[in-house]
């Protein structure tokens, strides 16, 4: 069965089990590999993508539920806030193993797109669903603040 949606700005039809989690449809059918599998139960955030601008965990969202909606993955980030986040991530040398960082960047971007100047508490609220086993948290926090400043400029 086919599901049609907007993937990174392109009208896309994926022929796959409608119950397949969006994560696997993105990775194995659309073949975009930046979105990662970490837990399969929305506990770690490695699979975070944007659906209609909201950060969601694609590992528990069935493909059918994104029909006619807008899905953005790490490969499709374009907003000013997203670019500021990615630049700050590089500038502050955030990643270690890097595996969770697509999800971290997606969550951070969604935060900044809604909140131009997040407080530490806002960051805790938006980012605590994204696990980093390398514990790059202090740098993620600093990079979000830096990106907020840069995106406002």
Partner 1 sequence: MSNSNALPSRPARREFLKGAGAAVTALTIGFEWAGSTRRAVALAGAASTAAPFAPNAFVRIGADNSITIISKHIEMGQGSYTGLATVLAEELDADWAQVRVESAPADATRYANLAFGKIQGTGGSSAIANSWPQLRDAGAKARAMLLSAASSEWHVPAAELTVEKSVIYHAPSKRQASFGSLVKKAAALPVPDTVQLKDPKDFKLIGHQAARVDVAAKCDGSALFTIDVEMPGMLVALLKRAPLFGATVKSFDGAAAAKVAGVVKVVQVPNGVAVIAKSFWAAKLGRDALTVEWDDSKAEKRSSAAMMDEYRRLADQPALPARKQGDAKKAIGEAARKISASFEFPYLAHAPMEPLDAVVKLDAKSCEIWAGDQFQTIDQMNAAQTAGLTPAQVSIHTLYAGGSFGRRANTVSDYIVEAVSIAKAYGADGTPIKLQWTREDDIRGGLYRPMYFHKFEAGLNAQNELTGWHHVIVGQSIMAGTIFAAGMKDGIDPTSVEGAANIAYGIPNIAVDLSTTKAGVPVLWWRVVGSSHTTFAVEAFIDEVAHAAGADPFAFRRKLLEHEPRMKAVLELAAEKAGWNAGPLPKGKGRGIAVCEAFKSLVAQVAEVSVDDGGRIKVDRVVCAVDCGTAVNPDIIKSQMEGGIGFGLGAALYGAVTLKDGRIEQGNFNDYRVLRMNEAPKVEVYIVPSTENPTGVGEPGVAPIGPAVANAVFAATGKRVYVFPFSKSDVRS
Question: Applying CB under 8 A, which residues contact partner 1?
Answer: 17, 20-21, 24, 27-29, 31-41, 43-44, 46, 73-75, 86, 89-90, 93-102, 105, 123-125, 127-141
Closest approach, Cβ 97 to partner 1, in A, equals 3
Complex with partner 1: residue 108 or 113, whichever CB lies closer: 108
Three-class DSSP labels, the chain:
CEEEEEECCEEEEEECCCCCEHHHHHHHHCCCCCCCCCCCCCCCCCCEEEECCEEEECCCCEHHHHCCCEEECHHHCCCHHHHHHHHHHHHCCCCCCCCCHHHHHHHHHHHHHHCCCCCHHHHHHHHCCCCCCCCCHHHHHHHHHHHHHHHHC
Closest approach, Cβ 4 to partner 1, in A, equals 19
Closest approach, Cβ 66 to partner 1, in A, equals 15
Complex with partner 1: residue 5 or 126, whichever CB lies closer: 126
Complex with partner 1: residue 5 or 85, whichever CB lies closer: 85
Closest approach, Cβ 92 to partner 1, in A, equals 9
């Amino acid at each position: 069965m086919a599901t049609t949606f907007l993937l990174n700005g392109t009208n896309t039809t994926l022929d796959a089990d409608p119950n397949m989690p969006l994560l696997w449809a993105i990775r194995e059918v659309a073949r975009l590999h930046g979105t990662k599998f970490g837990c399969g139960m929305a506990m770690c955030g490695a699979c975070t993508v944007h659906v209609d601008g909201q950060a969601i965990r694609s590992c528990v969202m069935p493909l059918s539920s994104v029909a006619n909606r807008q899905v953005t993955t790490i490969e499709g980030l374009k907003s000013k806030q997203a670019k500021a986040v990615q630049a700050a991530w590089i500038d502050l040398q955030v990643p270690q193993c890097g595996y969770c960082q697509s999800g971290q960047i997606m969550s951070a971007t969604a935060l900044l797109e809604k909140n131009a100047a997040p407080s530490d508490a806002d960051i805790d609220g938006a980012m605590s669903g994204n696990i980093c086993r390398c514990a790059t948290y202090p740098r993620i926090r600093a990079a979000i603040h830096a990106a907020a400043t840069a995106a406002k400029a």
